[in-house]
Amino acid sequence: MMISKTLFSFQNIFVFILIFYTFLFSNISKIILGNLIGLNLVYSFLPLFFIIIFYLVNFKKNSKLILFLALFLQAMLSINQIGSQIVFSNLMIFIISFLIPSLLVGIKLKDPQETILRVITIYNWIIFANVIYGILDLITQKKLQLFLAQLLNSTHYANSIGNDLGNGVYRLFSPLGHPLTNTLLILFFIVLNISYIRYFNEKTNFKLSNIYLITIIGALLCNSKTGLIIILVILISVFITNKKRLKFFIIMILSGIIVFSTDFFKDNIVKRFVNAAESGDISNGRLTAIKSLMESPYSQPDFFIGGGFGSSNYLIQSISHLNNIEVPLIMFLYDYGILNTFIIYLIIFILPVSIFIIKKHFYLSFLYTMVFIFANTYNGLATGIGIYQMMCFLLMLLLNLSDSVKKMGDQVSNEGVR
């Protein structure tokens, strides 16, 4: 597809900045840079001005429903602050981490196909570089992770790297994030590429075979149990819906034989499943957290008022040996209340999936649901470290893709009638 001369348009500059801030300027990068210059950059408000400005510049085109829901959330949280005496800093964390990023879901892009292709082109190289980083780290016996741990000294990331080193299990920690965040980024990678190729019937900058290969290698390096299962489900869905099923089936079988026969698979992937099963909680503490909450007399979330950002962690620490709940839905319920949690999930799941289904983009609905399920299996979505903004960014692209494809279909239908 020809790239137009609007490379430096306001929209493209906005998108480029957003890619950098959402994916490259990760929580780990913020901590490292913050340590070097002596500032806390984790909750940085300045880049979010671009989202507000871009939304206002295209106000007539953008979804007013998303804006209404965001403003309603703000009003409820302001009341929440008064009612439960939430500190102002926690309210600001909510605004920075959840409220403003929600506006992305309502943004309508100009020339969406061209813009989405540009994003995918840049994003593909980011993921490729991240997977190469993981391969080099594995070959050098985690030398890159050890260096990263030194830069992240006295943080929970450094502790996690140390735990994996002690367990003898490899998981991909990189400047882009924790292994589970890296798994989420791999899911974005395959979903964006498959969606673009399927619905626009055009190639991206990577061949399909390379997309599958990078996805499989990346997923194995990240070593997330749930992530591996979800990526396997997506690959099976590709096989079922692929016209060249035999070729894809042969490639998958050969890839599976090669992967399953490696020492890496036995010593890392299988070992993690076995360790989780032997621990008595294959969910790595999530089921234990839920059980502790159910048995506690102080564990009922309020309908309107939550305890504020991080209160779910304090609660689980007071009634169990766990540090956090690791289930975003439950964390949101205790942090912000039932009504606010419903609105959050209305923005990032119920409304988008409903739009996909109404437009009969059922496979797109399936792909996003797979990403959404994984994002809700660990605490990143509710901790304000940028995962929520990543999900909103993905939704901005997929909703614009869906809208563009629908308009193209309507145009073809109208031309046919003539």
Mean pLDDT of each 10-residue bin along the chain, 418 residues long? 56 89 89 81 75 87 90 80 65 87 93 94 97 95 91 86 83 93 97 96 92 93 91 90 72 74 72 67 70 76 80 80 84 90 95 96 97 94 90 97 87 37
Distance of CA 156 to the CA centre of its chain: 20
On whether both 232 and 270 belong to a single domain, the answer is yes
Nearest to 126 by CA among 178, 216, 189: 189
Q: Does residue 40 fall inside a structural domain?
A: yes
Q: Same domain, yes or no, for 148 and 274?
A: yes
Q: Is the distance from CB of 232 to CB of 224 less than 8 angstroms? A: no
Residue-wise burial string across 325-342, b where 16 or more C-beta atoms lie within 10 A, e elsewhere: bbbbebbbbbbbbebbbe
Would you say residue 12 lies in a domain? yes
In this structure, is residue 178 part of a structural domain? Answer: yes
Q: Are 372 and 234 in contact (CB under 8 A)?
A: no
Question: Measuring CA to CA, which residue among 360, 358, 354 is closest to residue 395?
Answer: 354
With b for 16 or more beta-carbon neighbours within 10 A and e for fewer, the 229-238 pattern comes to: ebbeebbeeb
Query: Is 225 in the same domain as 83?
Result: no
- Residue 177 is classified by DSSP as B
The count of other CB atoms within 10 Å of the CB of residue 143 is 12
Has residue 294 been placed in a domain?
Answer: no
Number of domains into which the chain is organized:
2
Kindly state whether residues 250 and 131 are assigned to the same domain.
Answer: yes
With tokens 């429903």, the residue in question is 65
Give pLDDT, residue 50.
83
Burial of 11 (0-12, 13-18, 19+ CB in 10 A): middle
- Structural domain contains residue 87: yes
Residues 211 and 261 in one domain: yes
Q: Domain limits at 156?
A: 127-284
Q: Closest Cα to residue 66, out of 96, 108, 94, 97? A: 108
pLDDT of residue 85: 58
Q: Residue 278's pLDDT is what? A: 63
Same domain, 244 and 388: no
Same domain for 2 and 68?
A: yes
147 and 80 assigned to the same domain: no
| Same-domain pairing of 354 and 392 | yes
Q: Which of 283, 276, 281, 314 is nearest to 296 (CA)?
A: 314
Asked whether residue 12 falls in the same domain as residue 157, the answer is: no
Is 369 a member of any domain? yes
Residue type, 128: F
Tokens of 352: 């988008």
Same-domain status, 101 and 12: yes
Q: What are phi and psi of 174, to 5 degrees?
A: -145, 170
Q: Which of 22, 27, 67 is nearest to 48 (CA)?
A: 22
Q: What pTM, to 2 d.p., does this model score?
A: 0.90
In a domain, 70, yes or no: yes
User: Hey, is 174 helix, strand or coil?
Assistant: strand
CA-CA distances (angstroms) from residue 250 to 169, 254, 257?
30, 6, 11
Judge if 105 and 194 occupy the same domain.
no
- Which residues is 177 bridged to in the sheet? 174
**DSSP 8-state code for residue 244:** -
Q: Is residue 417 part of a domain?
A: no
